[in-house]
């Protein structure tokens, strides 16, 4: 594995190349926001379409404000409460932001990651780093440095910061203000739930509601995303692998010789941390099919981010 320290990582980025960086969520494939070649290298390395916007990582609220043309009181309160941490805030972009980052939209996603190595790297670089997950587009995200190597080999340098502690991508939220009302819209669920953000706003006596929504301003909105190398099937609670496997084989037009029934931890935080690690390991262990059953105990705000990823990673859902 081609590992680098902060000094070398900075040098590579400023020359217009990419580096995989650690965060508390997943490893990101970073390019300097002021380098056109670095930004294009992100898309070409990931084989990512240009219509999917990138999130910009910064080390402070002050730097975030320089990259926006409109930073509201709600932005400030949420950033103060959640940064560094797994929350991306959508704001109106500054005119200096390269349209490659925003896919031509007038807004930009900003976040301050909770990882000391990456915060030090960001503090040493003017502007910030655009950094989607360090994997091929649509595939399972990397939650440790070895996953980046599995994906790209020696072609991508890695700033190794150990295993990611959250394990799924950040919550993405935007602020909508009109006709005297304010809404915080969560476009991608994650560690910070609607309930958690609402509590923060209420504590600051901000009259605003938090809701879940979908929007092209957030990455990861396609129907299929985060997909493992072998099929993942979501089944109902009464599914029996031995008895019902033939139904999956009929639907997917494939015979499976070594399926595995996957059981997530009953603790949402642990399930989140292990999610991508498990998805990658199953194919490495020789399984050819992953089946996960819906569990009535795995519901509620804390599980939304996990099931959002599983829904997009699935090849099929069996509903008996």
| CA-wise closest residue to 174 among 95, 104, 221, 107 | 107
Sign of CA dihedral 250, 251, 253, 255: negative
Mean pLDDT of the 21-25 span? 98
Helix crossing, 73-82 with 194-203: angle to 10°?
A: 110
- Residue 123, CB-side half-sphere exposure with 13 Å CA sphere: 9
CB 256 within 8 A of CB 215: no
Model pLDDT, residue 242? 87
pTM summary value: 0.95
Model pLDDT, residue 315? 95
Is the pLDDT reported for residue 271 higher than 80? yes
200-208 long-range CB contacts below 8 Å, 24 or more apart?
200/77, 200/78, 200/81, 200/82, 201/74, 201/77, 201/78, 204/77, 206/73, 206/74, 206/77, 206/182, 207/182, 208/74, 208/181, 208/182, 208/183, 208/184
Domains defined for the chain, CATH in brackets: 1-221 (3.90.870.10), 232-318 (3.40.50)
pLDDT digits (tens, 9 = 90+) for 120-162: 999 999 999 999 999 999 999 999 999 999 999 999 999 999 9
How confident is the prediction for the chain on average, in pLDDT?
A: 95
Confidence tier at 247 by pLDDT (50, 70, 90) = very high
CB 20 within 8 A of CB 136: no
Is the pLDDT reported for residue 220 higher than 70? no
One DSSP character per residue, 236-265 reads: -TT--HHHHHHHHHHHHT---SSEEEE---
Is the pLDDT reported for residue 197 higher than 80? yes
Is the pLDDT reported for residue 216 higher than 80? no
Comparison of pLDDT for 178 and 110, the residue scoring more: 110
Model pLDDT, residue 221? 67
Is the pLDDT reported for residue 320 higher than 70? no
Give me the phi and psi of 123, to 5 degrees please: -65, -20
């Amino acid at each position: 594995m081609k590992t680098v320290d902060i000094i070398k990582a900075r040098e590579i980025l400023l020359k217009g190349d990419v580096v995989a960086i650690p965060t508390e969520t997943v490893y990101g494939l970073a390019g300097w926001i002021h380098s056109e070649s670095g930004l294009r290298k992100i898309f070409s390395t990931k084989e990512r379409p240009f219509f999917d916007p990138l999130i910009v990582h910064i080390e402070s609220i002050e730097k975030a404000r320089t990259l926006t043309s409109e930073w509201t009181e709600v932005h400030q309160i949420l950033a103060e409460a959640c940064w560094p941490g797994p929350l991306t805030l959508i704001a109106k972009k500054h005119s200096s932001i390269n349209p490659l980052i925003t896919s031509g939209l007038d807004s930009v996603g900003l976040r301050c990651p909770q990882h000391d190595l990456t915060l030090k790297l960001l503090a040493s670089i003017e502007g910030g780093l655009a950094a989607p997950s360090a994997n091929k587009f649509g595939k399972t995200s990397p939650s440790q440095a070895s996953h980046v190597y599995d994906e790209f080999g020696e072609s991508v340098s890695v700033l190794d910061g150990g295993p990611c502690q959250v394990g799924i991508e950040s919550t993405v939220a935007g602020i909508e203000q009109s006709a005297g009302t304010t809404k915080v819209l969560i476009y991608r669920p994650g560690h910070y739930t609607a309930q958690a953000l609402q509590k923060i706003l209420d504590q600051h006596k901000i009259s605003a509601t938090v809701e879940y929504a979908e929007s092209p301003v957030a990455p990861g909105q396609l129907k299929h995303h985060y997909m493992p190398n072998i099929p993942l099937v979501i089944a109902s609670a009464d599914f029996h692998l031995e008895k019902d496997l033939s139904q999956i084989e009929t639907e997917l037009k494939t015979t499976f010789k070594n399926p595995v029934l996957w059981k997530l931890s009953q603790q949402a935080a642990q399930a989140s941390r292990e999610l991508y690690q498990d998805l990658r390991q199953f194919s490495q262990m020789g399984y050819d099919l992953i089946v996960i059953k819906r569990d009535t105990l795995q519901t509620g705000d804390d599980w939304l981010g996990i099931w959002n990823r599983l829904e997009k990673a699935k090849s099929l859902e069996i509903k008996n």
